Amino acid sequence: MSFRRLKAVTAKELLHIVRDSRSLYLALALPLVMLLLFGFALTLDVDRILTDVYDQDQTPQSRELIDQFRSSKYFQIENHVHDYKVIERNIDQNTVLLSIVIPKDFAKHLLAGQQADVQMLIDGSDSNTAGIAQSYAEAIVQGFAARMRSSAQSQRGGQVQGLAVDARVRVWYNSDLKSKNFIVPGLIAVTMMIISSMLSSLTIAREWENGTMEQLLSTPVRPRELVLGKLLAYFGLGFADILICLIVGVFIFQVPFRGNIWFLFLACCLYLFGALSWGIFISAGARTQLQAYQMGMLSSFLPGYMLSGFVYAIREMPKVIQFLSYLVPARYFVTILNGVFLKGVGMRVLWFEMLMLAIYAGLVFVRASSRMRQKVA
């Protein structure tokens, strides 16, 4: 491999990138737009649950229970209704997610130490949100019932016994349980997979369409030097995109950063090298830029979004899909980003993910060079 020829190919590709100002602006702006759009729009937090209340008991105890829901950050009391038909209409029209019905004699049964029922009607169209809302509501009701029974027993002169188990939960790494702290680092991985594949997937196909590939073939440049030279040119642009994404994640979304910045940069380089190599591999086998673009998007967006684990838990997927996810580099990069950002871990913990990224980058680069050699031949 000649360093002089490699430098010439890189300089040629950099000159092409600079001259194509619209593509350059798009390559720098698109990651920012995607990260801001998905970062603010995509959230798994369930709070401000729109709630109706049907209080048939109208006692201080029932009003106190309602106040518990009103004071919780997870619920937002919309209406006090007086008919089941109104509840049904509001749920059908998607104006509320949850309706709480407090039956008559609720306080009487509660103070007597008997079972006091509370009915919760939940819109189960979105099963995930409905399940979370149900668990929040049940926790409030059970906590309220335990306090009321203890108070009643104390007033009757009985001995109030403590709980058999006192569970004290401490959440590590993401104490506020904000989904953006998990989603934003994953978005960086998916966004960079898309951008990198899209940037490099057009380069070889564009040479054939513009008729400049014949001129390159007439030079002593070897296929591996051609691939590596183009890759290095887009590597600088891709690394600038990664810096933009990291700055947005830390300073705009305020995702905590607890790890080593140099370890993160090393992981970004491996991931970026593999993603760009994949784009060149696609471009070397495509006949047109349109075909290369479509193949690049299909092979980067869908696997990166669905099988990386940044939105959907891989452990909950079927075994076959879990096996396929090991072939997706975004899976390893998402784990690295979350580990570095939230947990502050490094190579000692994330060595396997780093190894898989290095193997992927090396294999794809070799395959891209081999396909380029076949294309030239």
CB 342 within 8 A of CB 257: no
Residues 109 and 192 in one domain: no
Residues 83 and 188 in one domain: no
pLDDT digits (tens, 9 = 90+) for 15-48: 877 777 777 777 788 888 888 887 887 777 777 8
Query: pTM of the entire structure?
Result: 0.79
Containing domain of residue 204, as a range?
A: 3-43+178-376
Q: Widest CA span of the chain, in angstroms?
A: 100
What is residue 97's DSSP assignment? S
CB 274 within 8 A of CB 329: yes
Q: For residues 260 and 346, what is the distance between their CA atoms, to the nearest angstrom?
A: 7
Q: For residues 101 and 88, what is the distance between their CA atoms, to the nearest angstrom?
A: 12
Q: For residues 141 and 277, what is the distance between their CA atoms, to the nearest angstrom?
A: 56
Domain presence at residue 145: yes
Q: In the prediction, which pLDDT does 374 show? A: 67
Provide the domain count of the chain: 2
pLDDT digits (tens, 9 = 90+) for 66-113: 999 998 888 999 889 988 999 999 988 888 999 999 988 888 887 777
Instruction: Dump the DSSP string for 230-283.
Output: HHHHHHHHHHHHHHHHHHIIIIIS-----S-HHHHHHHHHHHHHHHHHHHHHHH
Residues 183 and 332 in one domain: yes
